[in-house]
Structure 1
Amino acid sequence: MRFGRVPLAAGLAIATLLLPLSGAFADPKPTIAQAKAKLEKLNDKADKVVDRYNLATEKYKKAKKTYESLNSRYKSKMARVAGLRAEVVGMAVDTYQVGEFTSWAALLGDNDPTATLGGMALLDQMTAERAQVLAAFDAENRQLKTDREQAQGALTEADKLRDEVKSEKDKVLDLVEQQEKLLRRLGAYRVGNPNSTGIKYTGSASGNAASVLSFAFAQVGKPYQYGGTGPGGWDCSGLTQASWRAGGVSLPRTTWEQWSWGAKRRVSLDALQPGDLIFSEGLGHVSIYAGDGKIVHAPQTGDVVKVVPLSAYGRRLVGAVRP
């Protein structure tokens, strides 16, 4: 049998069919520009999800604290009710064993008027004391039920919020993984140093703003960490909260809460002063104005606390607050 030549076009078709499918139809890797664009969208989304996670965490902490307070009060009341119950039982036992020795018949049969009057006074006193114990027992017992229901309600709410925290955390972890992959592909992933001593602030701020910026600059080089409140890692609102705490002002925990807290402290972006908080559109991110057109902030996953020009912020701004 003799084989003839296979035409060129047919040979190429056969060769194509023999190629591994994964190689023949693999999606092209994204370009650097595409990866950067995707990262920017991820960062914006992560800002909002992290803030929701922080908000859920704060709500859970408050709910848990409320439950613990109510539960402590409930346990304390249980102990008081138990003590009153023991007194009531004791009164019942005494009455059963010795009878009403202070009955009117016993008092009137006494030939000593002074003793009779004394006995009547004792009767009034004992009756009042017993009535007081019984009334206290009844009132405490009724309140005990209310306290128990309140404690149970607080526990249910805390459990619900704990589940919400877990749900938001799962979303954060998924976004963090995507961010890390893109940053490593771009060669831009920065681990940071949790023990960084930062840099010295030498700007023009004075008063408590100087304390704020001195603290914030001392964090430069530490890693961004979602949910981070220091000292080894920070997220954006964790850094602003701690920095202003160093300046003597107590801020709420999340970006959204800080913006809401500052409703009457808003300032124009054209009149910024060192220490002012600058918020991004959508309230997903917050930074501190350092003066001279610069900000200090904890940017996003795979980056570190740093000082950058406001023009390089990379996010649309919605406004500023002066604590």
Structure 2
Amino acid sequence: MGTHRRPKPPSRARIATLGVAAGAVSLLPTQSQAAPKPTADEVRKQVEKLYEEAEAPTEEYNGIREQQQKLQREVDGAQDRLARKQHEINELREKIGPLAASQYRSGAIDPSVQLFLSSDPDDYLDKAEALGRTGDRQTAALRALEGKQRELAQERADAAKRLKALNEARNEAAKKKDEVQGKLTKARKLLNSLTAEQRARMEAAQGREDAASGSSDAPASYNGPASGRAKTAIDFAYAQLGKPYEWGSTGPDSYDCSGLVGAAWRSAGVSLPRTVKQMYDAGRKVAQSDLQPGDIIYWYNDSQHNGIYIGDGKAIHAPRTGKNIEITQVSYMPFYAASRP
């Protein structure tokens, strides 16, 4: 009697797969199920978030650019030193006379020169002197040439190292630039997706929000209690009211947050580092209860956003892309710390 083999039951994984496949058809979106377009308020919140996310890489970009400029100056200096060393070597070769002439002019290498060009020129010179192969003046010239050649090799190595660091900084700056521009491009696309009516509603909502926060970018004159350098810095910042925020900019037509703070204090003869983080690290910290006009306010954290305290619970700052330099309440954003230049 033959055995009747029962069909193998499907595995649980197979059942789950079939179930998903069966349900997938009913889950496919139809025209009527398409996700609704975001409202003006939703777009505004997304755009604000993108602008806020762009601030940190902007400050990183500023720091890298500052490092890049320093490295560029070092590379330029190294190249100048290389040129001078090469000129000195060329002059020494001319002074060596017949010994060098056979190598550098006729191409016929004298045995003495061949020894000199070995891996240990000092050893050659010691032996040559012992054998009387060189005169005192010739020996001195050869020793000087050997020393300059070593210096030249060291300068070349240093220049190559600096050039490599410069290229790495350039690449890193380009990445940060792409990161910022990517977020700003996404924000622009969101704004462009709005109808004229939605845009008007969004701008009205932004206006109401600015009014609630006490923000204003209208031209004004400072009449607070600051004096000396702090007053000079604040007066400069006031003169920038209404100018646009532009990431990576230090003026005079536009600024980012740390660009404005640095330019204001520079007008008072105080040189500050370039980025929010560097300013925070370098400044003398003061408690919020001890704030004085001219102090630097840091919002969110120690590396994202800053401005200048002007008294009466207010600060002047360059807010973000799409907005102008303005006066706002310190409490409008999460206060993190303050420092005094």
Same fold (TM > 0.5): yes
Q: Does 1:308 align with 2:316?
A: no
- Structure 1 position 232, deviation (Å): 0.7
Query: What is the identity percentage for the equivalent residue pairs of Structure 1 and Structure 2?
Result: 35
Q: Does 1:139 align with 2:155?
A: no
Deviations 1:220-268 (A, max 9, x none): 1111000001001100000000101112211000111111111xx0000
* Separation (CA, whole Å) in 2 of partners of 1:133 and 1:308: 71
User: What residue identity is the alignment partner of 1:287?
Assistant: G
User: What residue identity is the alignment partner of 2:221?
Assistant: K
Aligned twin of 1:276: 295
Q: Secondary structure at the match of 2:97?
A: helix
Partner residue of 2:337 out of 316, 319, 322: 319
- Aligned pairs for 1:47-66 within 5 A: 47-66=55-74
Deviations 1:270-316 (A, max 9, x none): 2111000011223200110011111100000000111122233xx32
- Structure 1 position 23, deviation (Å): 5.2
Length-normalised TM-score, structure 1: 0.75
The unaligned stretches of length 5 or more in structure 2 are 1-28, 103-133, 193-198, 208-216
Aligned twin of 2:3: none
Check whether the contact 2:218–2:241 (CA below 8 A) recurs between aligned residues: yes
Q: Does 1:37 align with 2:57?
A: no
Distance 1:37 1:270, change over 3 A: farther
Partner residue of 1:293 out of 308, 313, 338: 313
Aligned twin of 1:213: 234
Check whether the contact 2:59–2:304 (CA below 8 A) recurs between aligned residues: yes
Deviations 1:127-152 (A, max 9, x none): 54433322211100111111111111
- Aligned pairs for 1:1-323 within 5 A: 24-90=32-98, 127-182=135-190, 185=199, 186-187=202-203, 198-262=219-283, 265-282=284-301, 283-312=303-332, 315-323=333-341
Length-normalised TM-score, structure 2: 0.71
Aligned length: 263
Distance 1:201 1:127, change over 3 A: farther
Check whether the contact 2:51–2:184 (CA below 8 A) recurs between aligned residues: no
- Structure 1 position 75, deviation (Å): 1.3
Check whether the contact 1:197–1:218 (CA below 8 A) recurs between aligned residues: no
Check whether the contact 2:218–2:326 (CA below 8 A) recurs between aligned residues: no
Distance 1:290 1:182, change over 3 A: farther
Q: Secondary structure at the match of 2:307?
A: strand
Deviations 1:39-66 (A, max 9, x none): 3422331111111111121121112111
User: What residue identity is the alignment partner of 2:203?
Assistant: G
* Separation (CA, whole Å) in 1 of partners of 2:30 and 2:315: 47
- Structure 1 position 175, deviation (Å): 1.3
Q: Secondary structure at the match of 2:169?
A: helix
Distance 1:256 1:307, change over 3 A: same
* Separation (CA, whole Å) in 1 of partners of 2:161 and 2:309: 43
Q: Secondary structure at the match of 2:315?
A: strand
* Separation (CA, whole Å) in 2 of partners of 1:71 and 1:245: 31
User: What residue identity is the alignment partner of 1:301?
Assistant: T
Check whether the contact 1:203–1:290 (CA below 8 A) recurs between aligned residues: yes
The unaligned stretches of length 5 or more in structure 1 are 1-20, 95-125, 191-195
Distance 1:90 1:305, change over 3 A: farther
Distance 1:131 1:40, change over 3 A: same
RMSD: 2.5
* Separation (CA, whole Å) in 2 of partners of 1:251 and 1:317: 21
